[in-house]
Amino acid sequence: MATLTGVQKQYILHWGEMGTRWGINRTVAQIHALLYLSSRALPAEEIAETLSVARSNVSTSIRELETWGIVRAVHVLGDRREHYESMKDVWEMFRLVVEQRKRREIDPTREMLRRSLEELDPKEPGAEFTRERIAAMAGFFDAVTELHDQMKALPTGTVRKLLRMGAKVKRVKAI
Amino acid sequence: MATLTGVQKQYILHWGEMGTRWGINRTVAQIHALLYLSSRALPAEEIAETLSVARSNVSTSIRELETWGIVRAVHVLGDRREHYESMKDVWEMFRLVVEQRKRREIDPTREMLRRSLEELDPKEPGAEFTRERIAAMAGFFDAVTELHDQMKALPTGTVRKLLRMGAKVKRVKAI
DNA sequence: CTATAATTTCAGTTAAGACAGAATATACTG
DNA sequence: CAGTATATTCTGTCTTAACTGAAATTATAG
């Protein structure tokens, strides 16, 4: 079992807290942090010991991280256990998470809003008002989706470049 | 007490669920949804009855929404109770929330990463590796902050326009 | 200033989610 | 194919956060 340095502990604990604030299980986040900081793939056993959590907890959490696509199992010669390692590319990791949270949360919300607009009975009291409000929210989510798709289509650096250019809005508009 | 239509119920319940997935208290989210859909400001009492939650729970939740700056108390002539209403501008609401979550969560994380890099003892085993990893993460958070600041500085529509332009990356680069 | 309405705070309870450990299943080795 | 190592699933326990109701505080009206 790898003993953690102070800095590593600090990072892992902070990451765990961050996770809980964004709806991600603390252990899941901590395991990710540990693997991210690890220079070699770790077997479940070792993860459990290092973080002082149950082996079964690690199993579930790893599976969660695997479905996100940011952790994968690798094999080490002469060891039949699975060893787990984290993706190294930070941008790519966040891109994956954002894309999937969009699919799991944004998309169903748009769906709900669309359905609401359909189901709205114009005879209900205040229907017109309700429609306006829901349509405004739907418009926002549509725009976010559009934004997401456009960003996805661009190479990472380009987005930043474009925004930097945006500071000179007048010029850009003139193009 | 206003009875809710089916569409309103659907919206409020969904919004509550969304909240929990993003680390926002279910009741807080539901109250926001109710106020967002309401054509008039509502007193705490009525909110409590409509959503079937305790009056005190409403009090706490409203205060939370007030600190976000997306709900405010207004007064109705001839009624000494406070009535609460939600901001109407969807973009502005999300902008406020994003800005504050950045301050509460992203900024402290950057701080932690910076501190970690300072505290790293080069003599520790694997210090160089740890430094690389943390620096990569710090770079990401710096970039996100830069992105956030740049977007904040631009009028809403411009961001979308810029990204749409980005589809023609070559041309943009040539500018 | 007193009475009453409204709001907030606080202590205790409840509910949801996280977690551990046992039981089960799967995969590997000789 | 038997035995063993590893991984997963499941059930109950525990922790944490949400919520309630009562008590305390604050504000308003007469």
How many C-beta atoms lie closer than 10 Å to residue A172's C-beta?
18
Q: Which residues of B21-54 are buried (b: 16+ CB within 10 A; e: fewer)?
A: eeebebbbbbbbbbbbbbeebbbbebbbebbebe
- Closest partner CB to B119 (pick from A7, A163, A165): A7
Segment A65-117, tens digit of pLDDT = 998 899 998 888 877 788 999 999 998 899 899 999 999 999 999 999 999 99
Confidence (pLDDT) at A171: 46
Buried b (16+ CB within 10 A) or exposed e, A33-52: bbbbbbeebbbbebbbebbe
CA of B106 to C1' of C1 (A): 52
User: Could you tell me the CA-to-CA distances from A65 to A23, A60, A61, A87, A107 in Å, in that order?
Assistant: 14, 9, 6, 10, 21
Nearest to B119 by CA among A11, A94, A74, A170: A11
* pLDDT tier at A160, thresholds 50, 70, 90: low
**Binding-face residues of A in 58-87 toward B, CB within 8 A:** none
Alpha-carbon span B22 to B32, nearest angstrom = 15
Q: Measure B78 CA to D30 C1' (Å).
A: 15
- Tell me, what's the pLDDT at B80? 81
The answer to whether B36 faces chain A, any CB pair under 8 Å, is yes
Q: Predicted confidence band at B151 (pLDDT cuts at 50, 70, 90)?
A: confident
Residue A74 forms beta bridges with which residues? Answer: A83
> Could B23 and A18 be called an inter-chain contact, meaning their C-beta atoms sit closer than 8 Å?
no
- Which strands form A71-76's sheet, in the order they lie side by side? A42-43, A79-86, A71-76
Question: How far apart are the C-alpha atoms of B148 and B146, rounded to whole Å?
Answer: 5
pLDDT for the residue B133: 95
Q: DSSP letters along A86-100, please?
A: E---HHHHHHHHHHH
Cα first-last separation, chain B: 59
Question: Packing angle between helix B90-101 and helix B127-153, nearest 10 degrees?
Answer: 150
Using an 8 Å Cβ cutoff, are A58 and A31 in contact? yes
Give the single-character DSSP code of A70: S
Task: Give the mean model confidence (pLDDT) for residues B146-169.
Answer: 69
pLDDT > 70 in chain B, percent: 88
User: What does the pLDDT look like over B54-84, one tens digit per residue?
Assistant: 999 999 999 999 999 999 998 888 888 889 9
Q: Which helix (H) or strand (E) holds A82?
A: strand A79-86
pLDDT at A148: 87
Contact B73, B82 (CB under 8 A): yes
Nearest protein residue to nucleotide D22, judged by CA and C1' positions: B56
Mean pLDDT of A22-40: 92
pLDDT at A174: 40
Query: A60: which residues sit within 8 A by CB, 6+ positions away?
Result: none
